[in-house]
Amino acid sequence: MIFKLHKIPDRLIFRIVFAFIILLNLKYVFLIFQIPYTLAFVDYIPKNEFYSDVMNLRNSAKEIKNFYDEGHTGFVSDIEQSSVFDIQESIKSFYISQYAVVPSILKNDQEEMYVIGKFEKLARSPKDYEVYKKINEKIYIYKRINP
């Protein structure tokens, strides 16, 4: 018995592979239309708490005349660290504040002329400090009363 092997043209194999690739990627076609809509109509900046906190704190620090003169700024917060696993939120708030006041070095104490306070519950002024600027309901800049 002799079997004849039919040669399949390369053009047909290419078309089958190409059609298979196209069919697999059809589920991503909607992204072509979604991206321009997203860029045009969705405003992410107000929804981004990180961006708004950093920009509000940075702009407020720039408005204070001698904020960057000493090179150090204090930091207080009411975010509790009940265990080793909860330390992330307190560190996150500290480093967000450090990023916002970049030329100045943020210290986790109350010995500087200016202190940044980030509060989740009730804002309380540190001892010997008064509210110099209220940035929002959670973030305050305090100034020492008697330097």
Structure tokens at 117: 């306070």
Put simply, whether the predicted model's pTM sits higher than 0.75 gets the answer no
Domain ranges of the chain: 10-41, 49-144
Q: Residue 35 — pLDDT band, cuts 50, 70, 90?
A: confident
Percent of the chain with pLDDT over 70: 82
> What is the rounded distance in angstroms from the CA atom of residue 10 to the CA atom of residue 81?
67
**What is the C-alpha end-to-end distance of the chain, expressed in Å?**
107
> What is the rounded distance in angstroms from the CA atom of residue 133 to the CA atom of residue 63?
10
How confident is the model over 14-32, as pLDDT tens digits? 888 888 888 777 777 777 7
How confident is the model over 134-145, as pLDDT tens digits? 888 888 888 888
Structure tokens at 68: 């960057």
